[in-house]
Structure 1
Amino acid sequence: MGKIRIAVRKFGPFESTLQKLWDLFCLKNNLSIEAEMIPLELHDLYEETITNKGLKNGSWDIAHMNTDWIFDAVNEKAVQDLTPFIAQNTPQNYPDGWHQSLLNLQQINNGTYGLPFHDGPECLIFRKDLFENKVEQQAFKKQFGYELYPPKTWEEFTKIAEFFNRPEENLYGCVFANYPDGHNMVFDFCLQLWTRGGSLLNAQNQIDINQSAAIEALDYYRNIVNNKNAVHPKSKDFGSVEAGMAFAKGEAALAINWFGFASMCEVIEESKVKGKVDITELPHDKNHKTASLNVYWLYTIGTGSKHQKLAYDFLRFATTPEGDKLLTEEGGIGCRKSTWNDSEINETIPFYHKLGMLHEHALTLPQTPVWPKVAELIDKMVLKALESDIPSGELLEETQNTIQKII
């Protein structure tokens, strides 16, 4: 029968979970087939599965796919519609076992192109031990004239980041993921835009970032990221994983990152902040509401796979309540409501039940085949903003003109 090949998003908890799940799956079904799991960085994963047609030509049977790419993958006929499999053999408690916001993006043209694997919207992660410290509270009140609490506005975010910035203690106010990989800075820009009442789409439903809220968003972001009195000096080289690790090692008081990196602080060995972390909603402009971003990971099956039935049986097994909980215990984020409300999980990760709250404000990126190209342009624009003093308005106009040509 050969072996089954799985393209895995490179991240320790994903790799260990998948190996454990495969071993349990084989044991349960008395199978001796080997699974070759290749961990890949974001860019390589996209390249291998979609650009180089790996899912279409049978090089990969199963792949982790994030929802930014699923529209693309379906357009390229790379991923299998799971509807017939689901009809024949429904996953446990499907679809009610999941929050609606984890079922929408893989529904394309009446097909279902993946099962939820890992999630955790963007949130504000903070060191609750610092915020609860009486000495810190007094010092902050003395300096600013109001109580210390997690920032509700971006203005407060800057002040608190500067207040906790103590390079001599290897503690920085906040940490960002500014490595230009077409993802993190794009997400940060979107969050800045949304929390100022802006939108990526205009009234005609076309991507349009040339707007006043976007100027405010880019202005604030370039200022905070370049603020040496507030930000971890390695942020420029960090992807979201590295930024998450820096926070887990106790090197920052605040972080805007995926929920998964908060929970990771409670479960990984390297963490120096177990029991000292909490999460809350993102800060916002004082005249607007908070927002979050929901990009999640799916299990998908390649259209070219010769082992589609076996692959689907494994996906069904991996997404059971037990499989979902195992992912969480390893340091990933389970997608099922049962995991979010699990008493054992909430004992280890006391803020786990807050996932439901984050999903209430979670927005998604536009589903259009050109989004990956648009994201690349936004990424370049934000990088240019960080590295130059070209006015934000000019950068936005220039980027929008290029986007126009793609559309």
Structure 2
Amino acid sequence: MNRKYQLCILSVLVISLIFIFTGMNFAQEKSYEGVTIRGTFGKFNETYALLDLCEEAAKQLGMNVEFVWYERDDVHKKYILDRRMNNPVWDIVMVDSFWIGEWIAADVVTPINAFVEESPELVDEDVLDLDDYYAPQIESFTYKGDLTGLPLYALGVCMFYRTDLFENPIEKENFKERYGYDLKVPETYKEFYDVVEFFTRKKGEKLMGEVLEHDFYGTVFSNKEGDFLWNDIDTIFMAFGADNIFDEKTLLPTFNSPQMIEAIKYYVSLNPFQPSGHINMTSGEATSLTAQGYVALQIEYFIRGIEILLGPDSSVADKISFTVNPSKEGVVGREHAAHMGGVAVGISSISKNKEAAYKLLELAMSKEIMRKVFLEKGLSWHPARKSLLFDEEIREKYPFLKEADKLLSEDIYYFQHPAYLIPMYQECVYICTKEMSKALIGEKTPEQACNDAQANLLEVFKREGYISE
């Protein structure tokens, strides 16, 4: 065989290989063309933003997306029922941080790391880029090493406050005379109590030298029984040194511990400084009161605060700032304790379009698409990617984000729900908040509420085999 003939054969082989691999890549790029990915989520602004993210990704991948909205608790029930019936109606699913243990135990989701480990050819590591999330975000959705979903938004709970109140010379003088120290943004929960007590005023009294035409409140919490109450009070009880329902080493309930009772006593003591309807408020309702100018300080999810307090409809947007939460004096190691948690997005374990669902989610949650949607859509949501907190264009549009990174510093104790230890965490939350609500309305003392919750928790832990008869 002469050299010219060999070169001819080699050229044909090279060209054939090029066509084969080009065709393979083309087929891979187009293999999801026309696929419809379906999901159902709770009715939150951040999940509405998820639809924007998925639609942008679907456009690039040639897919279609369909979302159905329910109340959060209904979503939870529907997922469990559909999984039991092996009904593959959903491709991507909502992952609440309360649910991660249950979701894995009930085989509701396929962990993200399963795609990385078992189908590496499917995963674009540069797009997925798990290193671009803050560690508490990943930990909040990890169950025994399995990442149940990709975090939808950044940051947990922080303290918002009215800067004009703390800067007002009249209020500063009056506070110093009453409490014996300078008015400042509270750094401890004792100072928090003093400040919210001080700023609570009745209609007709003066605030910053002006007669009030309405009542003014020191603070407000979203104390509607269930997750709203729990998401607010857990920041308090972790600061006070209490366990999160149970001891993580022994797996025994500790809800009537001295630390928990002290925390709930403190929480109940804040009642006089809140609007009377706080017992039935959601986080959106509570935050809206602050945005209307009726509240001095509020401990709330960062994402909810920037959406409502700093949004276009806020009457005090130019007077609001935020900082880390207070600490409990004498409790070491839990300084500025902050609940993280929140919502992630996972892949249904029984989806018929699992690979397509993964590719859609991977791209939808990429920093490029998150950046595009955030710049176009604004403050109804904040992207989870930490790199976007440092993005120059984003910081120019939203200057307050320059301070946001400090809320995720290593100096803050971040509360991670130990839901990875028990699948029945959500059930336990309902038991505890039912009793805490009774303490808030004065039907029970904090001690009685904690003891009754403890008794009910013991029965659940026995039922599930964590405690021997």
CA distance in 1, matches of 2:187, 2:151: 31
Residue of structure 1 aligned with 2:42, choices 9, 13, 28: 9
The question of whether the paired residues in 2 share the 8 Å contact of 1:8 and 1:63 is answered with yes
Number of the residue aligned with 2:270 = 224
Deviation at 1:391, TM superposition (A): 2.7
1:228-255 per-residue CA deviation (whole Å, 9 max, x = no partner) reads xx11233122111222222223221111
Residue of structure 2 aligned with 1:324, choices 370, 373, 382: 370
The question of whether the paired residues in 2 share the 8 Å contact of 1:222 and 1:385 is answered with yes
Deviation at 1:332, TM superposition (A): 1.4
Number of the residue aligned with 1:118 = 153
Number of the residue aligned with 2:339 = 293
CA distance in 2, matches of 1:124, 1:292: 10
Number of the residue aligned with 2:8 = none
Matches within 5 A, 1:97-246: 97-168=132-203, 169=212, 170=214, 171-180=216-225, 182-200=226-244, 201-202=246-247, 204-225=250-271, 227=272, 230-246=273-289
More helix by share: 2
The code of the aligned residue for 2:57 comes to F
Number of aligned positions between the proteins: 400
1:285-327 per-residue CA deviation (whole Å, 9 max, x = no partner) reads 3212331111131111112222222211121112111333334
The question of whether the paired residues in 2 share the 8 Å contact of 1:346 and 1:352 is answered with no
| Secondary structure of residue in 2 paired with 1:103 | helix
CA distance in 1, matches of 2:77, 2:252: 27
TM-score by length of 1: 0.90
CA distance in 1, matches of 2:174, 2:168: 10
Number of the residue aligned with 2:404 = 352
Deviation at 1:376, TM superposition (A): 0.8
The question of whether the paired residues in 2 share the 8 Å contact of 1:14 and 1:327 is answered with no
Number of the residue aligned with 1:405 = 459
The question of whether the paired residues in 1 share the 8 Å contact of 2:236 and 2:267 is answered with yes
The code of the aligned residue for 1:360 comes to I
The question of whether the paired residues in 2 share the 8 Å contact of 1:178 and 1:236 is answered with yes
The code of the aligned residue for 1:341 comes to F
| Secondary structure of residue in 1 paired with 2:39 | strand
Deviation at 1:358, TM superposition (A): 7.7
| Secondary structure of residue in 2 paired with 1:53 | helix
The code of the aligned residue for 2:137 comes to L
1:141-175 per-residue CA deviation (whole Å, 9 max, x = no partner) reads 23322211111222222221122223534432111
Structure 2 residue 27 is the aligned partner of structure 1 residue 27: no
Number of the residue aligned with 1:37 = 67
Structure 2: give runs of 5+ residues left out of the alignment. Answer: 1-33, 204-211, 462-469
Residue of structure 2 aligned with 1:343, choices 354, 372, 392: 392
| Secondary structure of residue in 1 paired with 2:60 | helix
The code of the aligned residue for 1:248 comes to A
Moved runs in structure 1, 4+ residues, more than 4 A?
none
Distance 1:218 1:324, change over 3 A: same
CA distance in 2, matches of 1:267, 1:56: 44
Q: Which protein shows a greater Rg?
A: 2
Number of the residue aligned with 1:252 = 295
CA distance in 1, matches of 2:268, 2:452: 17
Deviation at 1:51, TM superposition (A): 4.3
CA distance in 2, matches of 1:385, 1:264: 31
The question of whether the paired residues in 1 share the 8 Å contact of 2:159 and 2:324 is answered with yes
Deviation at 1:84, TM superposition (A): 4.2
CA distance in 1, matches of 2:67, 2:223: 29
The question of whether the paired residues in 2 share the 8 Å contact of 1:248 and 1:264 is answered with no
CA distance in 1, matches of 2:179, 2:362: 54
RMSD (CA atoms): 2.5
CA distance in 1, matches of 2:414, 2:390: 19
CA distance in 2, matches of 1:384, 1:107: 33
| Secondary structure of residue in 2 paired with 1:360 | coil
1:366-396 per-residue CA deviation (whole Å, 9 max, x = no partner) reads 2211211111111111011012353322221
The code of the aligned residue for 2:357 comes to A
The question of whether the paired residues in 1 share the 8 Å contact of 2:163 and 2:319 is answered with yes
The question of whether the paired residues in 1 share the 8 Å contact of 2:53 and 2:365 is answered with no
TM-score by length of 2: 0.78
Distance 1:152 1:360, change over 3 A: closer
The code of the aligned residue for 2:52 comes to K
Distance 1:55 1:314, change over 3 A: farther
1:175-194 per-residue CA deviation (whole Å, 9 max, x = no partner) reads 110111x2122233332222
Deviation at 1:8, TM superposition (A): 2.5
| Secondary structure of residue in 1 paired with 2:174 | helix
Number of the residue aligned with 1:261 = 304
Number of the residue aligned with 1:388 = 442
Distance 1:310 1:167, change over 3 A: farther
1:33-59 per-residue CA deviation (whole Å, 9 max, x = no partner) reads 442222322212212223443895222
The question of whether the paired residues in 2 share the 8 Å contact of 1:262 and 1:277 is answered with no
